Chains A and B, each alone.
Chain A
Amino acid sequence: MILVFCELKDGQLRKPSAEALSEGRRLADASGKQLGALFVGASCAGAADAARYGADAILTAEGGTLASYSSDAFAQVVADAVKDKGATVLLAAATAVGKDVAPRAAARLAAGYASDVTGLTMVDGKLQAVRPVYAGKAFATTSFASAVQVATTRPNVFPAAEKAGTGATESLLAPTGDFKSVVKEILAKAGGKVDLSEANVIVSGGRGMKDGANFKILEEFADAIGGVVGASRAAVDAGWGLPHSMQVGQTGKVVSPTLYIACGISGAIQHIAGMSGSKFIVAINKDSEAPIFKLASYGIVGDLFEVVPELTKAAKAMGIGTN
């Protein structure tokens, strides 16, 4: 079996989980295996959604002890499910929880682990992964030596493809408690906005923004086209009050949206490393020699303080929004 650790949000299957399931379905078909979807929590209502993405089996570990996320408890449940089902491949989306639980479960299973992968294949019955290293400056093909192979899939890379599965449900035992750590409180929520790593459209500002307050024009443009605002390291480190969670680059978020619009960003190597996986790149910069133009699908040499408001105006006039 190929087992996919899935996450729910407000009773709905999260998009990165749907993507991981879809990729799992593809691998299961290629290797003649069953696809299982695993849900862990106080309530797994909504787990049936996994059948839409091809799950043959839906496993739920439900229990009051699992109401709050616990790294060690979740890793134990996930590893036990892998052993129980004799699964040889374990996938999870490379989300905050996926990246926390998957390596711990892998160690518990003495399994090799590939994180944040952008490509998966089955070779001689074993998983092989392609993943960005050096924040995307290079790609490493990872081969596994272990009987069980574990990988997390980068959000926004694998298409979520609907394909009906039988979705036979099965309950698993929840651990009784006494965990080593637990989430006590959610301090800040993403709000209505998606995280940069999952965003389809990103509008990013760099040193050319001159001040944190000027990011307002990027917000307005992003809102008009259904995007999320990011920033370069130069902007985050400039003391403009921008949080590190906005930073795109080798020491920030590595993103792969459909569209990345770089405003006033020159294109330092460490920034490019974090966004060169974007499908389309737009560069808006005063300096026609800026390295960012070498990557850009479309370039505008000009003053971003003139161009960006025009973009917002035009987007509204054209009634544009991402599909």
Chain B
Amino acid sequence: MKILVALKQVPDTESRIKVAADGRSLDPADVKWITSPYDEYALEEAIRIKEAKGAEVVALSVGTDAAKDVLKNALALGADTAVLLKGDGQGDAFAVAQMIAAYVKDKGFDLILCGNKGLGGDNAAMGPMLAELLGVAQANVVVKLELGDGTFSAERETDGGSELVVGALPAVITAQKGLNEPRYASLKGIMAAKKKTIEELDAAPAVAGAQVSALALPPERPAGRKLEGEPAAQAQALLQALKDEAKVF
């Protein structure tokens, strides 16, 4: 079995977002970069499949040299090889899906895993777009995955519930929190990863479908007020305010 895990480098969740001088991108100053958390579940799942039934795990990222950190980490965690598709990191989900599809084609991957969304961009689009471009099955927001002989069975989160998706391999599966508990890299893994090289390829040409033309911070919220008194009085005052001022009720 051959598994591709697509990983994205994103700003840490505790980052404060500042808009760059161009008015349309993130100011990278003071931003700590991490592997998108949902991609970590995808990688962990690939490593668990490898441990359980044997598999070759290829970690892939699209971006600049900075994305090598994500790939080094993936190698330390148990990926066999790593590939960087070099681009300017500016493309939309559709462009990235085209780049990955061009790489994947004819390489015989049985399974492609990635996060259900890249933290930050929050598009939740690359996975399904890649599945369509490759003409394969998809299951998104997956919290449980089982593989059969050329088939998969995946539990995915829906609006307040869950459903079981069955389909044929190859498939694109996008991971959700709950799929597994990602491990930490061992010292042995980190040492072994240092000896491995990251394959660098130029990303295939791609056409973006959309682009960010402006990035802005949300408007400041109007100042609120504190409600004083004993708990019973506070409760009464709150509900009255929500009813009369906010007109929520």
Contacts and interface: CB of A to CB of B under 8 A. Distances in A.
Interface stretch (B1-9, B66-74, B120-128, B194-202): B120-128
Contact of A318 (B122, B214, B243): B243
B235 A71 contact: no
Interface in B154-180: 155-168, 171, 176-178
A215 interface: no
A183 B158 CA distance: 11
A281 B125 CA distance: 30
B102 to A, nearest CB: 14
B236 interface: yes
Contact of A194 (B160, B165, B248): B160
A133 B132 CA distance: 24
Contacts of A243: 178
B141 A296 contact: no
A134 B122 contact: yes
Identify the interface centre among A107, A128, A259, A302: most chain B CB within 10 Å of its CB: A107
Interface string B107-119: 0000000000001
B231 A138 contact: no
Interface string B4-46: 0000000101111101000010100000000001100000000
A235 interface: no
Nearest to B122: A133
B248 A201 contact: yes
A310 B137 contact: no
A34 B169 CA distance: 40
A295 B122 contact: no
Contacts of A108: 132
Contacts of A268: 14
B225 A197 contact: no
B225 A298 contact: yes
A128 B210 CA distance: 10
B97 interface: yes
B161 A190 contact: yes
Nearest to B227: A300
A310 B155 CA distance: 40
Interface of A is mostly: mixed
B139 to A, nearest CB: 6
A112 B98 CA distance: 12
A311 interface: yes
A195 B125 contact: no
Nearest to B178: A244
Interface stretch (B47-55, B56-64, B82-90, B216-224): B216-224
B147 interface: no
B8 to A, nearest CB: 14
B104 interface: no
Interface stretch (A25-33, A57-65, A142-150, A159-167): A142-150
A138 B131 CA distance: 29
Contacts of B188: none
Nearest to B221: A295
Contacts, number: 288
Nearest to A200: B248
A286 B215 CA distance: 36
Interface in A132-184: 132-146, 149, 179-184
Given A72-B137, A96-B158, A132-B122, A141 B167 contact: no
B186 interface: no
A119 to B, nearest CB: 11
Contacts of A138: 17, 19, 26, 215-218
Nearest to B126: A103
A185 B16 CA distance: 41
A83 interface: no
- Of B127, B207, B227, the most chain A CB neighbours within 10 A belong to B227
A259 B166 contact: no
Nearest to A115: B123
Contact of B93 (A95, A96, A113): A113
Contacts of A99: 124, 140
B243 A187 contact: no
A181 B155 contact: no
Contacts of A116: 122, 124
Contacts of B15: 134, 269
27 contacts: A96-B156, A99-B140, A100-B128, A100-B138, A105-B132, A107-B133, A110-B207, A113-B125, A113-B129, A116-B122, A135-B119, A138-B217, A140-B212, A149-B210, A180-B135, A180-B138, A183-B164, A184-B165, A189-B161, A250-B13, A251-B38, A251-B119, A270-B14, A282-B238, A282-B242, A300-B234, A315-B239
